Amino acid sequence: MDSGSVIPSEGWGVLHLFYKIDRERAAEPGGAKRVLEAVEGLQADGHQALVFPVVGHKADLGIMALGPDLARLQAFEAELAAAPLVPTWSYLSLTELSEYMSTEEEERARLAGHAEGLTAEAIEERLEAWRARTAKYREDKLHPRLPMKRLICFYPMSKRREEGANWYALPFDERRRLMGGHARVGMKYAGRVLQLVTSSFAFDDWEWGVTLLADDPVALREILYEMRFDEVSHHYAEFGPFLIGLLLEPAEALRRAGLT
């Protein structure tokens, strides 16, 4: 490992960057080229970068960069400083696994108590399928390969610590039960909305960052509206600002944002 690298023992770093275009400097030649070269260099080093013009006045341009090396993400951010971009906001987090995932022992016990009275052989067959699903789930959460959808939505969130609504005062089993219901709402949108929840404890001002990718803006509205009625959200969640962008190939994203 490169002595200058900072590699998490689990998961990848995720850096959301938002900028205004410096219109005076953007008129000079080479501005877009600097950004494209930085993006191409990052991708060549085994990281990903999603580039998008932001809809609304919170920013002109957004870039979501993720990969195994926090030092490489910082270098990428520094490279962008040479472009005609004015930073407006950033957010740093790490990919993570949910602490509420079932263990193999719990899944084995569930299968053993199945109403059908499964044989030992049938239990092992189902466990093997469970292991394969779990391995894919772990890989998708810790090392996501994000598809090129049409829209990206990002927002930060935290859990409340208020009297009568303190998430961290709840017993683990109760938190797990509540998050199970929350997850079931999200699963209804499989195929329509890709959800990536990343942890920002110790990394930023909120506790999690949420990235949603979709082709249909209505799907984004529907999933977030429905989740507001879930007990986890309506009783325990606090939300930060929401930003929406149009996912495009980098050169087209820069052109649409006003940098050519």
Domains, the chain, ordered by start: 13-96+248-257 (3.30.70.1030), 145-245 (3.30.70.1030)
For residue 116, pLDDT beyond 80: no
Share of the chain above pLDDT 90, in %: 87
Rounded to whole angstroms, the Cα distance separating 46 from 166 reads 40
pLDDT tens-digit readout, 145-201: 999 999 999 999 999 999 999 999 999 999 999 999 888 898 999 999 999 999 999
For residue 27, pLDDT beyond 80: yes
Smallest CA-to-CA distance from 184 within 142, 226, 220, 217 is with: 226
Rounded to whole angstroms, the Cα distance separating 156 from 7 reads 23
Q: What is the reported pLDDT for 3?
A: 63
For residue 1, pLDDT beyond 50: no
Which three-class secondary structure string do you get for the chain?
CCCCCCCCCCCCEEEEEEEEECHHHHCCCCHHHHHHHHHHHHHHCCCEEEEEEEECCCCCEEEEEEECCHHHHHHHHHHHCCCCEEEEEEEEEEECCCCCCCCHHHHHHHHHCCCCCCCHHHHHHHHHHHHHHHHHHHHHHHCCCCCCCCEEEEEEEEECEECCEEHHHCCHHHHHHHHHHHHHHHHCCCCCEEEEEEECCCCCCCCEEEEEEECCHHHHHHHHHHHHCCHHHHHHEEECCCEEEECECHHHHHHHHCCC
Lowest mean pLDDT: which of 11-25, 113-127, 143-157, 245-259?
A: 113-127
Mean per-residue pLDDT over the chain, rounded = 95
For residue 64, pLDDT beyond 90: yes
Rounded to whole angstroms, the Cα distance separating 74 from 203 reads 13
Lowest mean pLDDT: which of 21-35, 214-228, 233-247?
A: 21-35
Mean pLDDT of 94-117: 89
Smallest CA-to-CA distance from 98 within 186, 214, 221, 220 is with: 186
Q: What is the reported pLDDT for 114?
A: 79
pLDDT confidence bin for 35, thresholds 50/70/90 = very high
Rounded to whole angstroms, the Cα distance separating 180 from 101 reads 9
Tokens of 181: 């219901």
Q: Evaluate whether 61 touches 257 at the Cβ level (below 8 Å).
A: yes
For residue 85, pLDDT beyond 90: yes
For residue 115, pLDDT beyond 70: no
- Cβ count within 10 A of residue 82: 13
Report the catalytic residues.
Answer: 155
